[in-house]
């Protein structure tokens, strides 16, 4: 328990505080601690009235069995439906968030899952990111715990709105537990599934028993660090200050590491799932069972993010992942917005930009990595039939105003059903002009998007949605 800044009145009070700290009792609570030499970037201490939802400024609530258009059962085979009901998700009035799995009379399970509004948590260039939560796992063990799957974790920001790019965009599991076992698991997911450099679907993980009191009977502090101050970069997992897992940048190939780190950052998640691949795999049979006991909450005292050193998150020479932003800029992800792609007017503009939306980034100094351009554009033609969106990506290697290379991709025929679709480099290159890709020295990148065919306007998702990834490190 963190002791507040006041003088203890008696030896008895001091002994009581010490005893509670050692026991990690559920009644003990702490505000976000001040950590010497670290700068707090964001946090939530879950102070608030009992039976109210967590801050809508900090969190968004996931509901149902999947994201819209995402894999069923959240991609893991879990059985519960997530809700925004305060029966499943609420503050407890004592400084904790409470996520409670419940089962109704028909055997249907409900629970809760929340994720941060922010999706830009990232280690600063040359510095360290620290993510920490003080959590008590659901206090249930044995057969009554079969199927319980509490977690504190993070997903790469490009997952939002896509839902098909896991695990390439990265997943950091800071704390997972299944079936009431006295153990905390920490895992990195990356690369491709199945197999790949992160041995999916298992990932690169490790686990250990919680120090002192069991994971279920007490609060413990779970911490993750992403260290870019050392070469190779390091990922580290801790419980109550004791490191139990690490992954080095040198353990995976350069492209895999870049795909999971060279984007806008990560969003954080808290949830308690029921059943699914992980608890089933540990148990060896399908969970939950008739013996599984509902109503045991995960309690979260605080979640916080700090940084130390570095340049505040700015990539030297520009990021390799450039989001299309309001005002015609390319850069870090921003708030979601949209732009209108003018109608092609029934004329064929295949290969030639026509009233394009144009986005430019400049001052980029990076080394060509030997790869190729990649992009993911969110486009929607609404109910318009036979529209086709096209993109051209151009490079000015030295920033002298000459576009040294231009890559025009095959247009993407959008469907006449409202809702964003993903236009990616998988459509293939239509034409390339100019020089081969080369190093950027104060260079520029330009992205032009237009309707090549059709008779209606289209919408382009920007801000934190459409991006181009340039092959430079």
Give residue 315's pLDDT. 45
Query: Whole-angstrom Cα distance, residue 415 to residue 397?
Result: 36
Q: Which residues does 278 contact at the CB level (< 8 Å), separation at least 6?
A: 76, 149, 176, 178
Residues facing residue 71 across a β-bridge: none
Helix residue ranges per DSSP H, 226-272? 254-261
CATH architecture, domain defined by 321-469:
Sandwich (2.60)
Residues facing residue 433 across a β-bridge: 406
Q: How confident is the model at residue 402 (pLDDT cuts 50, 70, 90)?
A: very high
Residues 385-395 have a mean pLDDT of: 96
CATH number for 31-309: choose from 1.10.10.10, 3.30.870.10, 3.30.420.130, 2.60.120.200.
Answer: 2.60.120.200
Residue 23 has pLDDT above 80, yes or no: no
Give residue 236's pLDDT. 98
Residues 337-343 have a mean pLDDT of: 94
Query: What DSSP element (H or E) covers 376?
Result: strand 374-380
Contact (CB, 8 A) for 70 and 165: no
Residue 424 CB burial class (10 angstroms; 0-12, 13-18, ≥19) = middle
Mean pLDDT of the chain: 89
Q: How confident is the model at residue 318 (pLDDT cuts 50, 70, 90)?
A: low
Count Cα neighbours of 380 within 13 Å in the Cβ-side half-sphere.
15
Q: Which residues does 103 contact at the CB level (< 8 Å), separation at least 6?
A: 109, 110, 288, 292, 294
Give residue 30's pLDDT. 54
Lowest pLDDT segment from 89-98, 175-184, 285-294, 304-313: 304-313
For 271, phi and psi rounded to 5 degrees?
Answer: -160, 165
Residue 155 has pLDDT above 70, yes or no: yes
Per-residue pLDDT tens over the stretch 91-147: 999 999 999 999 999 999 999 999 999 998 999 888 999 999 999 999 999 999 999
| pTM recorded for the entire structure | 0.66
Per-residue pLDDT tens over the stretch 227-280: 999 999 999 999 999 999 999 999 999 989 999 998 889 999 999 999 999 999
Residues 208-233 have a mean pLDDT of: 96
List where CATH 2.60.120.200 sits in the chain: 31-309
Q: How many CB atoms lie within 10 A of CB 263?
A: 25
Query: What DSSP element (H or E) covers 17?
Result: helix 11-23
């Amino acid at each position: 328990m963190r002791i507040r800044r006041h003088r203890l009145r008696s030896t008895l009070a001091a002994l009581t505080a010490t005893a509670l700290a050692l026991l990690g009792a559920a009644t003990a609570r702490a505000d976000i601690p001040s950590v010497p030499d670290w700068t707090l970037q964001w946090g939530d201490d879950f102070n608030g009235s009992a039976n109210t939802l967590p801050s809508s400024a900090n969190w968004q609530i996931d509901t149902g069995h999947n994201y819209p258009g995402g894999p069923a059962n959240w991609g893991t085979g879990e059985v519960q439906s997530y809700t925004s009901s305060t029966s499943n998700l609420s503050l407890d009035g004592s400084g904790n968030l409470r996520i409670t799995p419940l089962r109704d009379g028909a055997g249907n399970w409900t629970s809760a899952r929340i994720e941060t509004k922010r999706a830009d948590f990232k280690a600063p260039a040359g510095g360290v990111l620290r993510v920490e939560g003080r959590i008590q796992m659901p206090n249930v063990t044995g057969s009554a715990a079969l199927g319980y799957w509490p977690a504190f974790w993070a997903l790469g920001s490009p997952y939002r709105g896509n839902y098909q790019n896991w695990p390439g965009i990265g997943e950091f599991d800071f704390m997972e537990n299944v079936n009431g076992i006295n153990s905390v698991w920490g895992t990195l997911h990356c690369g491709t599934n199945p197999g790949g450099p992160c041995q999916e679907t298992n990932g690169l993980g490790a686990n250990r028993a919680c120090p002192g009191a069991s994971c279920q009977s007490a609060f413990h502090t779970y911490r993750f660090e992403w260290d870019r101050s050392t070469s190779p970069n390091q990922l580290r997992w801790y419980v109550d200050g004791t490191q139990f897992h690490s992954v080095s940048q040198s353990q995976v190939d350069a492209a895999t590491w870049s795909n999971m780190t060279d984007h806008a950052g990560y969003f954080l998640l808290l949830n308690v799932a029921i059943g699914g691949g992980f608890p089933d795999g540990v148990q060896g049979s399908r969970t939950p069972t008739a013996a599984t006991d509902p109503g045991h909450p995960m309690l979260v005292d605080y979640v916080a993010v700090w940084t130390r050193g570095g340049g505040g998150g700015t990539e030297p020479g520009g990021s390799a992942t450039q989001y299309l932003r309001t005002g015609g800029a390319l850069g870090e992800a921003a708030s979601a917005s949209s732009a209108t792609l003018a109608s092609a007017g029934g004329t064929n503009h295949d290969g030639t930009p026509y009233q394009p939306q144009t986005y430019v980034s400049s001052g980029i100094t990076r080394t060509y990595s030997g790869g190729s351009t990649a992009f993911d554009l969110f486009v929607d033609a609404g109910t318009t039939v036979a529209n086709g969106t096209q993109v051209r990506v151009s490079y000015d290697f030295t920033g002298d105003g000459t576009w040294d290379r231009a890559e025009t991709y095959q247009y993407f025929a959008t469907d006449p059903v409202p809702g964003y679709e993903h236009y990616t480099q998988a459509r293939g290159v239509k034409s390339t002009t100019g020089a081969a890709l080369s190093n950027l020295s104060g260079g520029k990148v330009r992205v032009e998007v237009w309707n090549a065919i059709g008779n209606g306007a289209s919408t382009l998702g920007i801000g934190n949605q459409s991006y181009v990834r340039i092959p430079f490190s």
